[in-house]
Amino acid sequence: MRVIEAEALSKNFRVKHKEKGMRGSIRAVFHPQTEEIRAVDRVSFGVEEGEVLAFIGPNGAGKSTTIKMLTGILYPDGGRVEVLGIDPVKKRKQLAYQIGTVFGQKEQLWTHLTPYDNFCFFGAIYDLSGREAERRIAELTEIFELSDFINTPVRSLSLGQRIRCEIVASLIHKPRVLFLDEPTIGLDPVVKENIRLLIRQMNKELHTTIFLTSHDIGDIEKLCRRIVIVNSGQIVMDDSMEHLKYHYLNRKIVEVKLQEETALPKTEGITILKQKGSRVRLEVDTSVIKINDALRSIDAEHVEDINISNIPLENIIMEIYKSEGRGAVQ
């Protein structure tokens, strides 16, 4: 069952332009100039129930604008959108009961209150009775391991603890779809990993659909089964992670340490990325040359140490941003 459906979704922003300096400011008073920017340009996609989707793109690509239209924060200028069969524009409140949102850059919690008081407040917002809220808070406190700081004012918590509380606050009403906009921004690797673990657990146990935007490749790689890449307001790629890796991970990075400094022969499909003394870093295009043929060309007898790895997903995504940015490919 599809829980999110967007069809030709568009959003434009009118941006004022001003020439530089004082003269520009004065001219702007009498001759204001504006430009219409297409933040989201006829974007169409669907999300199945229980899916974990990464919606990624460079800054200004239209990710947050799309999320804001899906959650009813922004009104679309064109197209159609439905979340759980509800139009966010017409029935924002009805939809809000069924979705949760976490904006990594915007806190929803009251900083002077304890997480417990905050959760009670959110319980009231979602019309939970006192007893229901209590039960839910106890449940989430255990899952998210909040007991050590549930009675400490939010302003005294670490960033990681706060984000955990933000997520719990957005889960208090058992949402069917959770929108996470850069939930791990500014967190250290250990806390990031914990948050990812909790998100995975939530998806697995509660079957919550997760719609994630993040610049952190770790989030995407470890959480998502499907990836949608947007650039300049358009979808440039919509594929499963498995497919993405299969199609784009045809290039391997081979790092070798030779017994002595040797000039390597030029072979089609092998690019020398770096050579320093006897250490060489190569990129092997496996669609041109098989990896064992590539190793043969290096002369394996003289190899002291070797490491073969995939091209980092980050590089692949960067290449997609650059190559597909000009035209939309779905």
Partner 1 sequence: MLTAVRNQLRVCALSVKYNIMREMLNKVTFVTNVLFMMFNNATFIVQWVILLRLRDDVGGYTMREVMLLWGLAASSFGLSRILFARVFSLPELIINGKLDSYLVQPKNVLLSVMTSGTNTSAIGDLLYGLLLLCIFCFSVKRLLLFLLFTVTGAGIMTAFALLAGSLSFWFVRSELFASHMVGSMTSFSTYPDGIFKGAARFLLYNVIPVGMMIYHPVHIMIAFDAAKLFTVLGYLVLLSALAVFVFYRGLRRYTSSSLMAARM
Closest approach of Cβ 179 to partner 1, in Å?
8
Q: Which is nearer to partner 1, 126 or 222 (CB)?
A: 126
Find tokens 């190569």 and name the residue. 282
**Residue 236 binds partner 1 (CB under 8 A):** no
Q: Which is nearer to partner 1, 34 or 240 (CB)?
A: 34
List the Cα angle 85/87/89 in 5-degree steps: 165
| Separation of alpha carbons 130 and 146, rounded Å | 19
Given a contact cutoff of 8 angstroms between Cβ atoms, the answer to whether 284 and 291 are in contact is: yes
| Separation of alpha carbons 318 and 306, rounded Å | 27
Given a contact cutoff of 8 angstroms between Cβ atoms, the answer to whether 10 and 69 are in contact is: no
Which region, judged by CB under 8 A, interacts with partner 1, from 93-101, 208-216, 237-245, 283-291?
93-101
Which region, judged by CB under 8 A, interacts with partner 1, from 66-74, 207-215, 258-266, 305-313?
66-74
The single residue among 23, 93, 266, 274 that binds partner 1, judged by CB under 8 A, is 93
Given a contact cutoff of 8 angstroms between Cβ atoms, the answer to whether 294 and 270 are in contact is: yes
Closest approach of Cβ 207 to partner 1, in Å?
21
Amino acid symbol at 140: L
Size of the site for partner 1 (CB under 8 A): 33
Given a contact cutoff of 8 angstroms between Cβ atoms, the answer to whether 268 and 242 are in contact is: no
| DSSP per residue, 287-325 | TTS-HHHHHHHH-GGGEEEEEEEEPPHHHHHHHHHHHHT
The single residue among 7, 27, 49, 110 that binds partner 1, judged by CB under 8 A, is 110
Q: Which is nearer to partner 1, 163 or 294 (CB)?
A: 163
The single residue among 108, 152, 250, 278 that binds partner 1, judged by CB under 8 A, is 108
Q: Which is nearer to partner 1, 68 or 192 (CB)?
A: 68
Which region, judged by CB under 8 A, interacts with partner 1, from 61-69, 238-246, 254-262, 278-286?
61-69
DSSP code at position 113: S
Which region, judged by CB under 8 A, interacts with partner 1, from 49-57, 94-102, 247-255, 293-301?
94-102
**Residue 101 binds partner 1 (CB under 8 A):** yes
Which of 210, 171, 189, 166 has the alpha carbon at shortest distance from 52? 210
Q: What x/- string results for residues 15 through 54 when contact with partner 1 is judged by CB under 8 A?
A: -x--------------------------------------
Backbone angles phi, psi at 244, to 5 degrees: -60, -45
**Residue 109 binds partner 1 (CB under 8 A):** yes
List the beta strands (DSSP E) in the chain.
2-17, 33-48, 52-56, 78-83, 99-103, 177-181, 209-213, 226-231, 234-240, 251-258, 270-276, 279-285, 303-310
The single residue among 2, 38, 92, 200 that binds partner 1, judged by CB under 8 A, is 92
**Residue 78 binds partner 1 (CB under 8 A):** no
- Alpha-helical (H) ranges within 187-269 are 189-206, 217-223, 241-248
Q: Which is nearer to partner 1, 18 or 135 (CB)?
A: 18
The single residue among 5, 7, 49, 107 that binds partner 1, judged by CB under 8 A, is 107
Which of 212, 117, 214 has the alpha carbon at shortest distance from 172? 117
Q: Which is nearer to partner 1, 64 or 234 (CB)?
A: 64
**Residue 74 binds partner 1 (CB under 8 A):** yes
Using CB under 8 A as the criterion, which residues of the chain lie in contact with partner 1 when the complex forms? 13, 16, 64-65, 68, 71-75, 92-94, 96-97, 99, 101, 103, 105-113, 117, 121, 124-127
